[in-house]
Amino acid sequence: MLWAVFTLIAAAAQTARNAMQRELTATLGTVGATHVRFLFGFPFALLFLGGLIAVTGDHLPVTPPAFWPWVIGGALGQIAATALMLSAMGERSFVVAYAYIKTEPVQVALFGLIFLGDRFTPLAATAILIATAGVIVMSLDDRQGADLDPRYEGIVVIFNASNEATTQSLPTHAPYSLHPIQASGSDSVVRTSSYNSTTGSFTVPARTVAVFVTRR
């Protein structure tokens, strides 16, 4: 079960890294924040490679000429994708951009099928769709530009299609609360949805759509 623990730690670290990169964009710009990620990580990649060789005693493999176009193309694609991700986060909220980023299981499956000839069973396809659509979070921020709504400064919508309650954290400490219609409605399940302003986390029960708002 250690793989599950390390997977959760890695996922949380990746989300935190992207959130911090998004904050750097305001100071350094999209190109600068992109360079920070790859130039800062490059020495650590070399250290990890050196440590791996020292521990295992292996040698660097001999690579055929066809290897390098794929590696260089993949590296440039990753850098361009990171720049586009940071640009999207600058245009929209972090959550909206990240929801699109998490469509990557579907994209990986398609690219694997096209370029590598990977095949996947109906069960694997179902798992990919669940991983993509299990939880969707949308955030609308009305603090910048012309006011779109005279009542609410922000809206967060969480679609939880999974069989368990979910907690999603956003980089905000605004006083969100469940929308008055849901808070006073007859659905006792959705009324258990909650928000923790200290951690910026929203908790929504299984198979539930909850709308949180913060007033002006």
Residue listed under structure tokens 């759509």: 209
| Residues 152-199 pLDDT 10s | 778 888 877 677 888 887 776 778 889 888 888 888 888 899 988 888
Asked whether residue 127 falls in the same domain as residue 164, the answer is: no
Q: What pTM does this model have?
A: 0.50
Report the distance separating Cα 163 and Cα 49, nearest Å. 41
Asked whether residue 121 falls in the same domain as residue 78, the answer is: no
Asked whether residue 103 falls in the same domain as residue 85, the answer is: no
At 39, the pLDDT band (50, 70, 90 cuts) reads: confident
| Residues 22-37 pLDDT 10s | 777 777 888 888 887 7
144, 148, 154, 160 alpha-carbon torsion, rounded to 10°:
-130
Q: Are 28 and 20 in contact (CB under 8 A)?
A: no
Asked whether residue 165 falls in the same domain as residue 211, the answer is: yes
Decide if 170 is inside a domain.
Answer: yes
Which residue segment(s) compose the domain that 103 sits in? 94-133
Report the distance separating Cα 4 and Cα 12, nearest Å. 12
Asked whether residue 115 falls in the same domain as residue 85, the answer is: no
Which residues share a beta bridge with 147? none
Q: What's the structural domain count of the chain? A: 3
The closest of 70, 215, 85 to 150, measured between CA atoms, is 215
* DSSP secondary structure letters along 158-182: EEE-SSS-EEEE-S-----EE-HHH
The closest of 82, 84, 124, 132 to 106, measured between CA atoms, is 132
Asked whether residue 139 falls in the same domain as residue 126, the answer is: no
Decide if 11 is inside a domain.
Answer: no
Asked whether residue 153 falls in the same domain as residue 110, the answer is: no
The CATH number of the domain holding residue 184 is 2.60.40.1180
Asked whether residue 147 falls in the same domain as residue 196, the answer is: yes
Q: Which two tokens stand for residue 110?
A: 């398609």
* DSSP assigned state of 115: I
**Cα Rg of the chain, angstroms:** 21
| Residues 97-141 pLDDT 10s | 666 666 777 777 777 778 777 777 787 777 776 666 566 667 776
Asked whether residue 153 falls in the same domain as residue 205, the answer is: yes
Asked whether residue 122 falls in the same domain as residue 164, the answer is: no
